[in-house]
């Protein structure tokens, strides 16, 4: 670790603390993620290993780069490319207004990163504004791949942020196993709305029940017709039949009609009806630039 | 992660040419002749296979998954000794740790280090008449070694194996050439692929070359090499590499056949440099 000068703590990841640091040789600023080791029989946590080997293979503009892994004094430290802020902090700097160009650029980059990951058979599974980093050039990068595919739902909760339900799709809230790209697409839809509204979350539920109610109040309660076999999901329970009271143009007033159309294709309760990343990138919202 | 081999760390960092490979082992070639070294690696692959498949800890899982974990582990082991020599780290420790790591990376049921080591302690004397070095049996050694392994392997933990391209080729052959007893050919070729873990082809050729070479060897061993000649000639592939790879697989089989493990492993192990369990990293 002699190679890096530790500067300040910048956050808490799925399995360890993150520091800002400077490479003594090159002067480059990096992010160091210290991997916590538990005293059980596991050695390096699977989640950390997963992140290491996945990011080792994923090299894309919109995916955070893993530069190095350093081992010293029985600790493992992952060295990442440094980004100035995450999307959440970016929202805070906006004073409540997001201009439509920026919103579209962020969404485009999010989908490009996702499409690349999905093409490599990698699901992120924990997309949220805190996991989307933005560097000084406005480039968005997917980060925090610590949720191992084998585990699905967050394994351990180190902070309230990890357990946030806000970006979790209804199928997962009903206990479905996470084996499909559709989980990331739902989260992308929620983030899309939040971006358009300069940081106001779309479905800020307090618990699983409240989360599902908020979703169904906006999208209508799914039925066996709209979502075959929904009642078979492990944690399924019936909800009252809600009818949407707000229109999409009321919910995302700054988004044009094409953007609203894309959002509705992402936010489909039935996972098999959700658009995938590649199709979303081909959507008219990105190609027709005349009406922002 | 099955998507693109050519953009993978495997393709970019872990395919060597023969001279490079020889040079990377120069330290160990001071202790072992080339032939001894090759035999030694046959032993390590056999040893890791035994530890993985013949123990108390082995869950009743399907054997294909188990084979993939073994293949990944043997690859870690071989890659490690391209970067380091036997005197840097004890190969028993590296082999156990490789298996432990591969189980996690391949999302196999995670195995506990304790049962792993217990298993090793039983298998060594039983199969090879070699006493188990008790200094190995501390769990902490494996945890420390895991760090070292991840570092030396440069975090390149995702390995591409020839089995997947082999399946594609077999499907293609089955569509284009009518072969009788196709399932026997299939089984034979997969067996050859698994056996290639006992030589260096995984460090020298991309997986699709090894898959084609295994097809050639597999069918020839059954005396039916002629039947895929037509299919082979229509492939657009670097045929020199295939020939080279085939050649190495045959050499390995010959060496393996002449290798009396019960007798020779002890001799080879005695040549290992006496080292501390953990190097100073």
Q: Alpha-carbon torsion B34, B35, B36, B39, what sign?
A: positive
pLDDT of residue A162: 36
d(CA A41, CA A46): 12
Q: pLDDT tens for residues A226-261?
A: 999 999 998 999 999 998 888 999 999 999 999 999
Residue of B107, B57, B106, B157 lying closest to A151 (CA atoms): B107
pLDDT at A259: 96
Q: Average of pLDDT values for B248-277?
A: 88
Nearest CA distance, B280 vs chain A (angstrom)? 11
Two structure tokens written together for B199: 């030589």
Query: Would you place residue B139 in the very low, low, confident or very high pLDDT band (cuts 50, 70, 90)?
Result: confident
Q: pLDDT tens for residues B37-61? A: 999 999 999 999 988 887 655 555 4
Q: Point out which residues pair with A70 in neighbouring strands.
A: A77
Query: Closest approach of chain A CAs to the CA of B37, in angstroms?
Result: 30
pLDDT given for residue A157 in this prediction = 29
Q: What is the percentage of chain B residues whose pLDDT exceeds 90? A: 56
Whether residue B6 is predicted with pLDDT greater than 90 in this model: the reply is no
Smallest Cα distance from A240 to chain B, Å: 40
Query: Any chain A CB within 8 A of the CB of B160?
Result: no
Domain B163-257 sits in which CATH superfamily?
Cyclin-like (1.10.472.10)
* Chain B residues touching A76 at Cβ < 8 A: 147, 150
CA dist., res. B207 & res. B197, Å (int): 12
Name the DSSP letter for residue A153: S
Whether chain A has a CB inside 8 Å of the CB on B112: the answer is: yes
Cα–Cα distances in angstroms (integers) from residue B86 to residues A243, A254, B83, in the given order: 70, 64, 10
What are the two backbone dihedrals, phi and then psi, of residue A78, each rounded to the nearest 5 degrees? -95, 130
The stretch B256-260 carries a mean pLDDT of: 94
Q: Report, as ranges of residue numbers, the positions in chain A whose pLDDT lies below 50.
A: 148-163
Chain A nearest C-alpha distance from B117 (Å): 12
Mutation site for B-interface testing, chosen from A3, A53, A146 by largest number of B Cβ within 10 Å: A53
Cβ–Cβ of A46/B110 closer than 8 Å?
yes
* pLDDT tens, residue by residue, B155-170: 899 899 999 999 999 9
The confidence band for B1, taking pLDDT boundaries of 50, 70 and 90, is very low
Catalytic residue (one of A25, A40, A99, A126)? A126
Q: Which residue of A has its CA nearest to B7?
A: A57
Comma-separated ranges of CATH 1.10.472.10 domains in chain B: 5-14+23-158+261-270, 163-257
Q: What is the pLDDT of residue A240?
A: 94
Residue with tokens 């970019």: B12
Per DSSP, the three-state class of A76 is: strand
- Does any CB of chain B come closer than 8 Å to the CB of residue A57? yes
Q: Which pLDDT score, from 0 to 100, does residue A18 have?
A: 86
Instruction: Give the residue-averaged pLDDT of B8-19.
Output: 93
Residue A209 is a catalytic residue = no
A120 touches chain B (CB under 8 A): yes
Q: 10 Å Cβ neighbour count for A141?
A: 22
Q: Where does the pLDDT of residue B275 fall: very low under 50, low under 70, confident under 90, or very high at 90 and above? A: low
A117: nearest CA partner in chain B: B1
Farthest-apart Cα atoms in chain B, separation: 58
Q: Hey, is the C-beta of B157 within 8 angstroms of any chain A C-beta? A: yes
Nearest-CB residue to A43 (from B113, B156, B157): B113
The neighbour count for residue B1, using CB atoms within 10 Å, is 18
pLDDT in the model for residue B28:
93
pLDDT tens digits, residue range B172-182?
999 888 888 89
Query: Which residues from chain A sit within 8 angstroms of residue B8, using beta carbons?
Result: 57
Cα separation of A167 and A183, whole Å?
A: 9
Strongest mean pLDDT among A32-41, A58-67, B62-71, B247-256: B247-256
For chain B, give the DSSP string.
Answer: --S-GGGSHHHHHS---HHHHHHHTHHHHTTS-HHHHHHHHHHHHHHHHHHHHSSTT--S--HHHHHHHHHHHHHHHHHHHHHS-TTTS-HHHHHHHHHHHHHHHTTPPPPPHHHHHHHHHHHIIIII-----GGGG-HHHHHHHHHHHHHHTTT------THHHHHHHHHHHHHHS--TTHHHHHHHHHHHHHHGGGSSHHHHS-HHHHHHHHHHHHHHHTT-GGGGHHHHHT--S-HHHHHHHHHHHHHHHHHHHT--HHHHHHHHHHTSPP--SS---
**CA distances from residue A173 to A110, A147, A205 in whole angstroms, order as listed:** 23, 17, 12
Are the beta carbons of A54 and A78 closer than 8 angstroms?
A: no
- Residue B249 CB: number of other CB atoms within 10 A? 23
- Closest residue in B to A41 (Cα) is B112
Angstrom distance (rounded) from CA B76 to CA B157? 8
In this structure, which CATH number among 3.30.360.10, 1.10.472.10, 3.30.230.10, 3.40.50.150 belongs to the domain B5-14+23-158+261-270?
1.10.472.10
Judged by CB atoms closer than 8 Å, whether chains meet at B155 and A119 is answered as no
């Amino acid at each position: 670790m002699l190679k890096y000068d530790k500067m300040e703590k910048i956050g808490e990841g799925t399995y360890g603390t993150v520091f800002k640091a400077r490479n003594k040789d090159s002067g480059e600023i990096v992010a160091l993620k210290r991997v916590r080791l538990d005293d059980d029989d596991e050695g390096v946590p699977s989640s950390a290993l997963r992140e290491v080997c996945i990011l080792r293979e994923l090299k894309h503009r919109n995916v955070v780069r893993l530069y190095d892994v350093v081992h010293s004094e029985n600790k493992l430290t992952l060295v990442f490319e440094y980004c100035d802020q995450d999307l959440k902090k970016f929202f805070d700097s906006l004073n409540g207004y997001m201009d439509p160009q920026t919103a579209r650029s962020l969404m485009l980059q999010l989908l490009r990163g996702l499409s690349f990951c999905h093409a490599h058979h990698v699901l992120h599974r924990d997309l949220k504004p805190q996991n989307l980093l933005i560097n000084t050039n406005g480039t968005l990068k997917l980060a925090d791949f610590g949720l191992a595919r084998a585990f699905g739902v967050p394994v351990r909760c180190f902070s309230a942020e990890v357990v946030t339900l806000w970006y979790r799709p209804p199928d997962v809230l009903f206990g479905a196993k996470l084996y499909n790209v559709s989980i990331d697409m739902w989260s992308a839809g929620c983030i899309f709305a939040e971006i358009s509204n300069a940081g106001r979350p779309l479905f800020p539920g307090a618990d699983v029940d409240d989360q599902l109610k908020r979703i169904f109040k906006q999208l209508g309660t799914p039925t066996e017709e709209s979502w075959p076999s929904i009642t078979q999901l492990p944690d399924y329970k019936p909800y009252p039949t809600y009818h949407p009271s707000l229109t999409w143009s009321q919910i995302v007033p700054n988004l044009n009609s094409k953007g609203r159309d894309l959002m509705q294709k992402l936010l489909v309760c039935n996972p098999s009806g959700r658009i995938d990343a590649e199709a979303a990138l081909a959507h008219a919202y990105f190609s027709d630039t005349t009406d922002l | 992660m099955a998507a693109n081999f050519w953009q993978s760390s495997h393709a970019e960092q872990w395919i060597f040419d023969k001279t490079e490979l020889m040079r990377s082992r120069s330290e160990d070639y001071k202790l072992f002749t080339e032939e001894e070294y090759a035999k030694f690696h046959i032993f390590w692959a056999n040893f890791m296979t035994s530890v993985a498949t013949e123990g108390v800890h082995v869950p009743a899982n399907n054997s294909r998954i188990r084979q993939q974990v073994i293949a990944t582990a043997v690859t870690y082991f071989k890659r490690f000794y391209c970067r380091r020599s036997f005197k840097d780290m004890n190969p028993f420790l590296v082999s156990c740790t490789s298996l432990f790591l591969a189980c996690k990376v391949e999302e196999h049921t995670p195995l506990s280090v304790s049962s792993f080591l217990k298993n090793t302690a039983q298998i060594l004397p039983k199969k090879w008449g070699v006493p188990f070095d008790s200094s190995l049996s501390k769990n902490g050694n494996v945890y420390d070694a895991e760090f070292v392994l991840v570092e030396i392997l440069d975090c390149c933990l995702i390995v591409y194996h020839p089995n997947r391209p082999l399946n594609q080729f077999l499907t293609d052959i089955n569509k284009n050439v009518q072969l009788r007893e196709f399932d026997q050919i299939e089984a034979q070729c997969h067996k050859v692929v698994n056996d290639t873990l006992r030589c260096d082809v995984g460090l020298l050729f991309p997986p699709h070359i090894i898959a084609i070479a295994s097809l050639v060897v597999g069918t020839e061993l059954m005396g039916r090499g002629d039947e895929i000649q037509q299919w082979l000639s229509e492939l657009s592939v670097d045929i020199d590499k295939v020939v080279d790879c085939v050649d190495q697989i045959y050499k390995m089989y010959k060496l393996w056949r002449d290798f009396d493990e019960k007798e020779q492993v002890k001799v080879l192990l005695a040549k290992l440099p006496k080292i501390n369990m953990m190097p100073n990293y």
